[in-house]
Amino acid sequence: MPQGGLARRATLIQQVREEIEGPVLVLDAGNSLMGQTLAMQSEGRVLVEAMNLMGYDALAVGTMELAKGVDVLLERAAEAEFPILSANLVWSETGEPVVEPYVVWEGQGLRVAIIGVTYAEALRGLERLSPGVELLGPVERVAHHVAELRPQADIVIVLSHLGIHEDKALAQAVEGIDIIIGGRSRQLMRAPEIVKTSTTSTAIIQVGYDGEWLGRMDVSGYIHALDTPSHQILFMRPDVPDEPEISSLIDAYRERYSVDD
Per-residue model confidence as pLDDT tens digits over 88-130? 999 999 999 999 999 999 998 889 999 999 998 888 888 888 9
In a domain, 83, yes or no: yes
Please report the pLDDT score of residue 6 as a whole number.
92
Which domain CATH number covers 195?
A: 3.60.21.10
Examine the pLDDT at 25 and tell me if it is beyond 90.
yes
As a whole number, mean pLDDT of residues 246-253 equals: 94
Of the two residues 230 and 139, the one the predictor is more confident about is 139
Domain hosting 99: range is 6-257
Percent of the chain with pLDDT over 90: 69
In a domain, 164, yes or no: yes
In a domain, 1, yes or no: no
Q: What is the pLDDT of residues 79-88, one digit of tens each?
A: 999 999 999 9
Q: What is the pLDDT of residues 213-223, one digit of tens each?
A: 889 998 876 65
In a domain, 207, yes or no: yes
Q: What is the pLDDT of residues 123-167, one digit of tens each?
A: 888 888 899 999 999 999 999 999 999 999 999 999 999 999 999
Which range in 68-82, 114-128, 197-211 is most confidently predicted, on average pLDDT?
68-82
Single out the residue of 202, 204, 196 nearest to residue 225, CA to CA.
Answer: 202
In a domain, 16, yes or no: yes
State which amino acid sits at residue 85.
Answer: L
**Number of structural domains in the chain:** 1
Q: Is 227 left (phi over 0), alpha (psi -120 to 50) or beta?
A: beta
As a whole number, mean pLDDT of residues 54-73 equals: 95
In a domain, 203, yes or no: yes
